[in-house]
Chains A and B, each alone.
Chain A
Amino acid sequence: EAAVTQSPRNKVAVTGGKVTLSCNQTNNHNNMYWYRQDTGHGLRLIHYSYGAGSTEKGDIPDGYKASRPSQENFSLILELATPSQTSVYFCASGPSGTGNERLFFGHGTKLSVL
């Protein structure tokens, strides 16, 4: 079973502070994703990556940066955190292919920005 590990599991940050959420996958998947989950919105795509060194903007990238230094690691960076970024963040990975591939999700990071 594919393994996607997120850290930290919970984070409290102050407004204006920098926050880094980390994600590691051990299944050699090319594609990795960051989603946020908010009530009424489901899962919304923030950034994604096709492989080491690449990052792409998703539907809601404003206020977020992403970094993919290696095949295994994908980080989400909030340079200046705001209360509106309080949410649960999910990392996912998946193989590249023809489009019918499933995603494997981490357990989520609950972020509170005060």
Chain B
Amino acid sequence: AQKVTQTQTSISVMEKTTVTMDCVYETQDSSYFLFWYKQTASGEIVFLIRQDSYKKENATVGHYSLNFQKPKSSIGLIITATQIEDSAVYFCAMRGMSNYNVLYFGSGTKLTVEP
């Protein structure tokens, strides 16, 4: 069974600082994919960034990057130089190769960026 856990319910940071959101996962699959999605205040859910389990390099897209620690089954999302518009709920998700059509989500972390 696949499981994704986000223990941080909410985080508040000051604008222009760096924030890290935690995520741990459980899987029996040797190959899997990890994703982060963002849900804006309007409810829209959009894909942010992906990490493939077989890649050692941490993925980076714009001011989003990942801290992939495979031995700890951990995939943290790092947002540098945060902006007010980064305020949202962030979901970690995983897809294992045993059922690669199904994406499992964590419970989400609400980020508030203060001016």
User: B-contacting residues of A (Cβ < 8 Å)?
Assistant: 31, 33, 35, 40-45, 48, 50, 58-59, 88, 90, 92, 94, 96, 98-100, 102-105, 107-108
Contact = CB atoms under 8 A, between A and B. Distances in A.
Contacts of B101: 31, 48, 50, 96, 99
Q: Which 7 A-B pairs have the closest CB atoms?
A: A99-B100, A42-B107, A102-B47, A43-B105, A105-B45, A42-B105, A100-B33
Given A41-B107, A98-B100, 17 more contacts: A33-B103, A35-B105, A40-B107, A42-B6, A42-B91, A42-B106, A43-B91, A48-B101, A90-B45, A94-B103, A99-B32, A99-B100, A99-B101, A100-B33, A102-B35, A103-B47, A105-B46
Given A102-B50, A105-B46, A45 B95 contact: no
Majority SS of interface residues in chain B? strand
Contact of A48 (B42, B47, B102): B102
Q: How large is the interface on B (under 10, 10 to 19, 20 to 34, 35 or more residues)?
A: 20 to 34
B47 A100 contact: no
A35 B103 CA distance: 10
Contacts, number: 57
Nearest to A108: B43
B15 interface: no
Interface of B: 4, 6, 31-33, 35, 37, 42-47, 50, 52, 91, 93, 95-97, 100-108
Given A40-B107, A99-B95, A100-B52, A107 B44 contact: yes
